[in-house]
Every structure is written in structure tokens, then in C-alpha cells.
Chains A and B, each alone.
Chain A
Amino acid sequence: MAGWRSFPAAVALASTAMLTLAACGATAGGTAASASGSSAAPASASASASAPAASPQTLRMAIPGDPVGFDPYLTADANTVALTWNLYDQLVTVDTKGNLQPDLATAWTASADGKTLTFKLRSGVSFADGHALTSADVKASFQRMLDPATKDPDASDYKVITSIDTPDPSTVVMNLSSYDAALLSDLALPFAAIEPAGVDPATLKNKPDGTGPYMLKSWTPGQDVVLEANPHYWQPGLPNIPTVDMKIVPDPATQIADLLAGSVDILPGLSGQQASQLKGQSGIQLEQAPSGNIQIMAINNARAPFTDVRVRQALSLGVDRSAVVQGAWFGYATPVGTFLPPNSPYYAEQPAPYDPAKAKQLLAQAGLPNGFSSTLDLPSLYPVHIQTGQVIASQLAQIGVKLKLNQVEWATWLSQDYGKRQYDLTIISHTGRLDPDTLLVRFTSTYPYNYENYKNTTYDGLIAQGRTSQDPAQRKQIYAQAQSILANDVPAVFLDVSDNVVAIRQNVSGWQWLPLAVDQLAQVKMQ
């Protein structure tokens, strides 16, 4: 009898655990791909390798959601550009260390004043539809991107480009309104993809046409996105795998089940929790690299008591970052005390000690010896932020800061917290791009999404100076100074930089993480 009574409680407990587990994976930003023919799951790789019919023609991957479309000029969605990266090329690209490398341009030079950039285009490049790339395509691409009618959400990163000249079919000259230190690395981002001239923009959303290693074969919303090798691709021998079938699998627990069952070969963008579940499973290999994703607890600097810098400093001192890394990321992250990732050449390490005694002291000095109460908004789309919030709330309670945890749906968070700046504290991640400016500019007082309401004219001046400096050594110095201001002023509590993790079945190899949030598939191999 007692057994029966306690059964519903056990079920409730188990289902809560499952819910948490299911929730956790949603954070995984990336996509997964899978390869290899039939829907019958091969129980082992050796079995499928020996069977003649199972020649690895298809990489099967799981992605968490539908793309927003395939036109890189119409989206800032990370999952979408992770995918379009394989359909398009840019003028330049990056290697795994973040160094700029030639892509469609084989060489580039800047004028002495930095206001003119000249690119030499690679010869023998064709779009997926077969027509050859010329400077006219590059010019038309940037014209379309910068045309306000296109409504490119990322166009502001390229607004210094005033005009483009095409002296001959293989030369592109960009005229800039002013020197912009971030521009060249911005040109390596998926948002600066080169599209064909004269294409009807309306068709690009569903029928992409790029020079990348893959082209779109089909997209069935909610079901899958199938890519096939671009026969005109300019890099000989690539891509290695002729077809990539990206299954749309939103549920993190199902993503793992798919991989373990062998119906998916590769699962990029794992959350720490997913990674810890897959670690040590036979036949599954994990590959990780630091991402550019910085988790912060944003503070509304315009609201009391956070207007007092001592209160903000107390929050930073009251958080044990290593506990957050373990509790929310299952170890797949690195603590930081600044707003740049440690793999950035401009990273200047800032101390981020856990010192509750000093935190209490600062609160007392600020007139809050008994602490205070506040609300911590947690975007429910991202379970990792919820877990981080729970860890932080218990830590800050020890210095007298009582946090009410408030889960907020994503659309609401974007509108209220991020757009209207109506919040006390919230937890979110920001993804850096290649140039330090893309992250650090967020705390300048005129930045449209400075939702922390942080204002510091010295900081504003430094960021403006860094953007126009042509001397890398000087920039390094400027950004080190800017980072020490942030560490001191604590406009937000900088928490950690997560790892990019991919899980691969043993028949797949060659995965490389780039320091961009993209899934690069051309080099991936299957046995």
C-alpha cells in the first residue's frame, strides 16, 4: 500500500528531472549533421562499413530548429548562419586560430590612410548555378546589403563602405568613409557572404545561390534541410561528403537519443549537460574548443541600488564563477572577469575573485548592511541561464542579496528586458565576433542595445579610438584599458566563456571548430 502511495511522488520527481534534462539541451546553439543512408540505425560503425550498400554518401546531422531562410543578408540568427556558412563564401575567411585567410579574394591591400581596400579575386570560381564570379557580383552584393530597402539586420557593421569600384572583373576596390579597424574581420563573417549579381532577392530566401562547398537540395520546414555538394566548388576535392541531411530535432534529450541510436552521425552545439551525458559513451567522441560566447549577469545600472558602483562590485565579488562553471556548464566553460574571451588576441585578464566578506563590506559602505532584495530575470529558452541563476541566487543570498528568480519567455525577454530595459538583473550570453570592438562596443552609451544603461565617457572615448586606430599594438593597449574599466565599474557581472562541443560517431572525422559560431562541413570525412 505504501508502495502505491509513493508511486505518484516518484513519477513526479522523475518527470521533473526529465523536464530539467529536456530543458537543458535547448541552449545548444549549434546544429548537428548526420550522414549515412538509410533510416535503419546501424548498431555499430563496423557493421555499416562492411556492408556494401552503406557507403557513406550522406552525413546525418541534427539541428535544433528551422533556418530563418537561406539569405545571409536577411538574418542575424545564429543557427541560420551556422548553416549558410556552407553555402556561401566571403572575400576573406578565418582559420581555427582566428587569423584572416584568403577566401574569394586571394590578396588585399589597404591605402595609407586606411580608407581604400583593394581585393584581388580568385579566378575559376563559379556559383552553384554555374556562372563565374566577377567583381560585379561582389559590388552587387554589398550594394544590396547596404541598401536600406534590404533591411539587413547586420548592415550597420559595414556602413563605412561608401562605394565599390570594379576596375576589372577580378579587382574590387572598396571606398570607406573612414578607417574601420573591425571591417576586414567583419568581411570574414557569414553576414558578408557574396551573392550573385542580378539575382531576384525574393528567391534567395528559399533558393540560395552561393560559391560555397554545398548547395541546398531541399528544405522541408520542421523536418530537414538537405545539402548536396556544389559541383562547381573551387577547392579541389572538397567537400568530402556528397550529401548532408540536417534533421530538425528541437529536443535536447532526443538529439542525444538520435546520436546514441545511430540515426545521427554528428551533433554540434552541445550544451555542457549534453556533453557530460555523452562523455565516455563508447563509439562517441567529443571535440571541444573555447567559443566566443560570454555569459554575463547584466545589471540595470539606471536602477537603484545598482546605480552605486559598490553594490555592483559586491555582486561580482559575491559570485563564485567556478561553481557556475560546474553547476551550469558541467565544467565545459572557463571563468572570466572581462567581456572578451581568453582566446581573443586582445584579451586582458582581469581578476574575478570570490570574496563574500569583502562583498558584504562594500554593501555596508553603500548603506545596505543587511543587503537588499531584487529580481533576477532568466530567459526560459536557455536552461543554462536558469541553472546559472539558481547557483548565483544561492551564492548572493550569503551576502544578504535576496534574488527572486523570474523565468521569462524569450520573446518577452527580447521585448522587455533587452528592448525596453525593464529589469533589475538578468542572465544572458553574448557572442563575440572576430574583432574585440563587436563585444566591447555594447557598453558604449550610444549603443542601441546598451540595455545595462551603462554610461562612462572615458570608456566611450577608448572604444571610439580603438575603432579608428590602425596600429595593432596601440589597439591592444586601448582595449586592455577598456577592459580594466569594465572590471572596475562592473556594468555587468562577467561570468564565463563556454566551450563549443561537438559529439561525433566514430565513423566521422575532420571536424574543426572555427572561432565563429558556424558549422564548417567541407572538411568533415566519413569512413
Chain B
Amino acid sequence: MARFAATRALSAALTLLVMTAVAFVVLQVLPGDPAILVLGMDADPTAVAHLRATLGLNQPVPVRYGLWLWNALHGNLGTSLQFGQPVAALLLQRLPLTLLLTAMAAFIALVIALPLGMAAAVRRGGLVDLLGVAVAQVGAAVPSFWLAIILLLAFAVRRHWLPAGGFPGWTQPGAVISALLLPALALGAARAAILTRLLRQSVSEALRQDFVRTARAKGVSPQRTLWRHALRAAAIAPLTVFGLQVGELLAGSIVVENVFSLPGLGRLVLYAISMRDLPTLEGCVLLIATLVMTANFAVDLLYAVIDPRIRSAG
């Protein structure tokens, strides 16, 4: 177990190192000068040169990466070039919103996919199955930014049921939930589609297995067979995909946060890239990579809970 944990930690550290290096190199390859982006088109060239020097942009690339890494290892993520605020503070400010949005989207995906996928598996070829297939097809085909705009037009502009975007601040929990409902729906729909398809597939396969027939033959009720036995056996594949989807949800939040004007991590990533704000981007990359790895680790633990064979092997 200790060896497992050590391997896990080492590979996590290596992943983080590679991610930050890639982000650094990509931002170097892209043309663009943060100094002129800060100061604007009409800036006096001497002022731009001054700012470049102040920001340390005149140093060679490896030196700059080394310095950033050294500081990051000491818990200092640096200062945002554009906001002039500590990167750690910016990240902390934006993390809760993205976490809540991702959690709500994942919850919505589950709430749609679980009943629909199960029902479709039980009654293959039936009306519910057709609905399930349709949801899966359409949901996977519709891009989330498009769905976001459609939802916005329908529920915020036509009917003033939900806010059209923006964030009310954490002081009003009710308003926070209603502000995040449409974005979470836009984000969760595609995941729901994929999960529905996967659940339908794996549950209907499980239902054809011998142990299910045995359970039924022993007089276990159809409901109990489905939820206790078949679902449990069928859960591994959807769970794996669900873990991977956390990464996708975080990526999708970049688009959806932008459409709904939500001040989360996704918007910060986009902003940092377009403004060549290296310290901010590196901070975002570190944090998002950590989140994805944490989610995958949690899924690994869940495997053990669901499948006793994995538990004993681990």
C-alpha cells in the first residue's frame, strides 16, 4: 500500500512538472508581448521596454522557467502580469465557483443518465430506449457553447426565470445556485448523453450474464436484480468515464463560464492565454491538473468500494 502511494505521488509530481513545462513552452512559442498587451496599442515604446524589463521578460526562457519553478516549489506562484495581484489569491477567488459548477454539472449528468440509461437497458427497443438513444445522440452532437446560448435565450431572455449571466457573489446562496443552473445544464448535457449511452450498453450486457439469470432463478425480484446485481457489475465502465469526464467538465467550463460571464477558473485560463499572462496560466494549469488527478484518484478508490476483487488485489 505504501509503495502504491509512493508511485502514485511520484507520477503525480512528474505529471505536474510536465504540464507546467508544456504550458510554459506553448506560451513562449506563441508570438505576443505581455508588456504591450498591458500598456496598449498607443503605448510609448520606451515605456513598453521599461515594463518588459520590470516583468523579467528580457531574461532567457529557461532562466524564467527555472525561476518560476523555484518560487512555485516554495509556495510562491508569483504575481499576475495583468491584474497585479498574487496568482494564489486569484486562484482561490475563482476556484469555488468552478468547483461548484463542475459538481452541479456532474450531478445533472448523473440525474439524467442514471434513470434514462437503466430504463433503456431494461426495455431495449421500447419507447424509453428510443428516448434514451435520442438524448444520447443529440446531447453528444450539440456543442455546449451553442446549448448555452439556446438555454440563455429560452430561460433568461424569453422567460425571465433565471439570470442571463454574471455572478451575484457568495453572500446570496440562492442566487448563486440559480446563476449556475443554466451553465451547469449546458455543461452537464453532453456528459449525460455519453453516460446514458454507456449505462444502457453496460447494464443491458450485465442483464444477459449468467449471474443475473441465477439471481432471477433464485427468486430475487427484478428490481433488486437490476439495482443490486446488474448495476454493480456494470458500473465500472461508466465510473471510469465519469472520472475522465471531470477533466472534460473543467475544460468545458472554459467555454461555458465565458458565455455566462462567470468569474471561474475557466475564464481565468482563457484570459491568461490571450493576455500572455504566464504566472497566472501556470497557476491555473497546476490547479486544474491537481483537480483532475484528485478526481481520478477518487475514482480508483471507488472501484475498490464497488468491486471486492479490486479491494483484495489492492
Give A contacts to B, CB under 8 Å: 7-8, 11, 14-15, 18-19, 22, 39, 41, 43, 66, 68-69, 75-78, 148, 151-156, 205-206, 220-224, 247-251, 253-254, 257-258, 260-263, 381, 409-412, 414-416, 418-419, 448-449
Contacts and interface: CB of A to CB of B under 8 A. Distances in A.
A99 B212 CA distance: 87
B31 A153 contact: no
Contacts of B275: 411
Contacts of B41: 76, 414, 418, 449
Interface stretch (B148-156, B193-201, B225-233, B239-247): B148-156
Given A220-B169, A448-B44, 6 more contacts: A11-B141, A151-B54, A222-B271, A249-B166, A250-B267, A257-B164
B168 A39 contact: yes
B259 A153 contact: no
B31 A41 contact: no
A416 B153 contact: no
B175 interface: yes
The 6 closest A-B pairs by CB, nearest first: A222-B263, A411-B32, A76-B40, A153-B43, A257-B164, A153-B39
A220 B93 contact: yes
B16 interface: no
B93 A221 contact: yes
Q: Which of B44, B138, B175, B276 has the most CB of A within 10 A?
A: B44
Contact of B38 (A18, A68, A410): A68
A347 B142 CA distance: 51
Contact of A39 (B43, B50, B172): B172
Contact of B164 (A78, A206, A254, A418): A254
The residue in A7, A148, A222, A410 that gathers the most chain B C-beta atoms within 10 A of its C-beta is: A222
Contacts of A221: 83, 85, 90, 93, 263
Interface string B121-143: 00000000000000000100111
A148 B39 contact: no
A148 B146 contact: no
Interface of B: 30-33, 36-48, 50-51, 54, 82-85, 90, 93-94, 138, 141-143, 145-146, 149, 152-153, 156-157, 160, 163-169, 172, 175, 179, 258-264, 267-268, 271, 274-276
A411 B44 contact: no
Contact of A263 (B166, B259, B274): B166
Given A151-B54, A257-B157, A257-B164, A251 B40 contact: no
A68 B276 contact: no
A243 B138 CA distance: 45
B30 A411 contact: yes
A94 B47 CA distance: 28
A262 to B, nearest CB: 7
Contacts of A223: 166-167, 169, 263
Nearest to A153: B43
Contacts of A416: 31
A154 B42 contact: yes
B31 A263 contact: no
A247 B274 contact: no
Nearest to B179: A39
Given A66-B83, A76-B41, A222-B268, A249 B165 contact: yes
A41 B278 CA distance: 38
22 contacts: A7-B141, A11-B142, A18-B149, A43-B160, A66-B82, A76-B39, A151-B54, A153-B43, A153-B44, A247-B166, A251-B165, A251-B260, A253-B259, A254-B164, A257-B153, A257-B157, A260-B157, A261-B160, A263-B166, A409-B274, A414-B36, A415-B33
Given A39-B168, A249-B165, A410-B274, A220 B263 contact: yes
Contacts of B43: 76, 153-154
Contacts of B160: 41, 43, 261-262
A22 B256 CA distance: 13
Contacts of A249: 165-166, 261
Contacts of B276: 411
Contacts of A43: 160
Contacts of B45: 448
B94 A148 contact: no
A15 B179 CA distance: 23
Contacts of B48: 153
A313 B148 CA distance: 46
A258 to B, nearest CB: 5
A205 B179 CA distance: 30
Contact of B143 (A7, A15, A39): A15
A77 B40 contact: yes
Given A151-B50, A415-B36, A76 B42 contact: yes
Q: Which of A152, A224, A262, A411 has the most CB of B within 10 A?
A: A411
Of the listed residues A205, A223, A248, the one surrounded by the most CB atoms of chain B closer than 10 A to its CB is A223
Contact of B37 (A19, A261, A411): A411
Interface centre among A39, A78, A412, A448 (most CB of B within 10 A): A39
Nearest to B263: A222
A234 to B, nearest CB: 30
A251 B36 contact: no
A250 B275 CA distance: 14
A153 to B, nearest CB: 3
Contacts of B82: 66, 68
Given A153-B42, A221-B90, A412 B156 contact: no
A19 B132 CA distance: 28
B146 A263 contact: no
Nearest to B94: A222
Contacts of B152: 253-254, 257
A448 B45 CA distance: 7
B42 A253 contact: no
Nearest to A381: B274
A357 to B, nearest CB: 37
A263 B163 contact: yes
A148 B50 contact: yes
Of the candidates A43, A251, A381, the one having the most CB atoms from chain B within 10 angstroms of its own CB is A251
Among A11, A221, A253, chain B packs the most CB atoms within 10 A around the CB of A221
B239 to A, nearest CB: 29
B183 to A, nearest CB: 11
Given A247-B166, A415-B32, A261 B141 contact: no
Output the residue of B42, B267, B271, B274 with the most chain A CB within 10 A. Answer: B42
A409 B268 CA distance: 17
A381 to B, nearest CB: 8
Contact of B84 (A22, A69, A78, A248): A69
Contacts of B51: 151
B47 A152 contact: yes
Given A68-B82, A77-B40, A263-B163, A39 B175 contact: yes
Contacts of B260: 251, 254
Nearest to A66: B83
A8 B141 contact: yes
User: Quick one: which of A14, A220, A257, A412 has the most chain B CB within 10 A?
Assistant: A257
A106 to B, nearest CB: 30
Contacts of B274: 381, 409-411
A216 to B, nearest CB: 15
B37 A18 contact: no
A416 B32 CA distance: 8
A412 B31 contact: yes
Contacts of A148: 46, 50
A414 B142 contact: no
Contacts of B264: 222
A39 B90 CA distance: 25
A257 B261 CA distance: 12
